[in-house]
């Protein structure tokens, strides 16, 4: 279907302030690639005003009180490791993680008040591995979970979260494990980091059958992803009627990615976007950047994905 509302971009320059040591895959340059890729697809900026207190309130719905303060303090004495060897911090890491969560909150707010059909949230550090009380896998605050909680807090639920990053979104799954107001669907390489995401992980209690994992073998290509996503989306819409969608959009399944081990092309990401839009219909889609570590592949994949999910058909 065609877009019924504009494609917007919610980001913040502060996201570049996280500077891991050279050689770390999450380079600050990723931000520019992910922003300009969407601009090439015709995206318009959504202003993001960062009010620290408000962002911290949004973070507190997902993370232990004290985790943000712990990160702020760690950044006062860089370089340091935060919770995991994968998570080195620089002086600007707290500011970047706050900016990422703030952009996700702003996007969710715009989606809830109906002002956009698709909102692309190019931010870093990524979020989907971040647990309630522990950072891991390059992630500090769980931006996608924070966006979903904001949508629900504004009365825009139930929410479907679709995670197509090559790695399993363990942090997001854990947060919504016993919930029936959020459906979590993940497609990912398995077995692989972080080790979770087997097909029999389906949620518990009220949340049983509201988590759906589709593990994929290494080397999966466009056709494999398309088929798996179509199957997963049927399960989402069978379980609930989402008022809004949050997407953990990682592009590390791209064939040129240095760490993903999959074979998805830019056209594959366009098709993923189009399938998501078809499932979402006229509902808002908030798509948050997760992984994707080859700069050219990231730029091109963001361009095709945002075109696909916004229904613009090009470029």
> From the CB of 90, what's the least distance to Zn ion, in Å?
21
Rg of the Cα atoms in the chain = 17
C-beta nearest to Zn ion: residue: 291
Which residues, listed in sequence order, are joined to residue 245 by a DSSP beta bridge? 160, 285
| Residues near Zn ion (CB under 5 A) | 165, 167, 250, 252, 291
Residue tagged active-site, from 129, 168, 175, 254: 129
> Nearer to Zn ion by C-beta: 106 or 135?
135
> From the CB of 218, what's the least distance to Zn ion, in Å?
14
Which residues, listed in sequence order, are joined to residue 284 by a DSSP beta bridge? 244
> Nearer to Zn ion by C-beta: 117 or 137?
137
- Token pair, residue 95, equals 């500011």
Active site residue 175: no
> From the CB of 183, what's the least distance to Zn ion, in Å?
21
> Nearer to Zn ion by C-beta: 109 or 291?
291
> Nearer to Zn ion by C-beta: 128 or 179?
128
How far apart CA 105 and CA 55 sit, in angstroms, is: 7
How far apart CA 122 and CA 284 sit, in angstroms, is: 17
> From the CB of 124, what's the least distance to Zn ion, in Å?
12
Backbone angles phi, psi at 222, to 5 degrees: -55, -45
Catalytic residues: 129
């Amino acid at each position: 279907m065609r877009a019924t509302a504009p494609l917007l971009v919610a980001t913040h320059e502060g996201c570049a302030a996280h500077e891991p040591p050279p050689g770390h895959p999450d380079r600050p340059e990723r931000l520019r690639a992910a922003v300009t890729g969407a601009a090439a697809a015709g995206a318009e900026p959504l202003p993001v005003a960062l009010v620290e207190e408000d962002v911290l309130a949004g973070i507190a719905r997902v993370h232990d009180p004290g985790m943000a303060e712990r990160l702020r303090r760690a950044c006062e004495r860089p370089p340091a490791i935060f919770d995991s060897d994968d998570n080195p911090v620089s002086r600007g890491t707290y500011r970047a993680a706050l900016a990422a969560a703030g952009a996700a909150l702003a996007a969710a707010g715009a989606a809830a008040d109906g002002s956009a059909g698709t909102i692309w949230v190019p931010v870093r550090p990524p979020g989907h591995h971040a647990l309630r009380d522990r950072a891991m896998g390059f992630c500090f605050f769980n931006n996608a979970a924070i966006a979903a909680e904001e949508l629900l807090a504004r009365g825009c639920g139930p929410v479907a979260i679709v995670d197509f990053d090559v790695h399993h979104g363990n942090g997001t799954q854990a947060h919504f494990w016993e919930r029936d107001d959020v459906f979590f669907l993940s497609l990912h390489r398995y077995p692989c980091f972080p080790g979770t995401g087997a097909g029999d992980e389906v949620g518990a209690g009220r949340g049983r059958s509201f988590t759906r994992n589709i593990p994929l073998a290494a080397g999966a290509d466009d056709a494999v992803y398309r088929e798996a996503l179509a199957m997963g989306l049927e399960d989402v819409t069978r379980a609930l009627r989402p008022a809004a969608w949050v997407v953990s959009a990682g592009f590390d399944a791209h064939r040129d990615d240095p760490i993903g081990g999959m074979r998805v092309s830019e056209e594959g990401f366009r098709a993923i976007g189009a399938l998501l839009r078809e499932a979402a219909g006229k509902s808002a889609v908030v798509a948050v950047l997760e992984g994707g570590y080859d700069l050219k592949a990231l730029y091109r994949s963001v361009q095709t994905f945002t075109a696909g999910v916004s229904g613009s058909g090009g470029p």
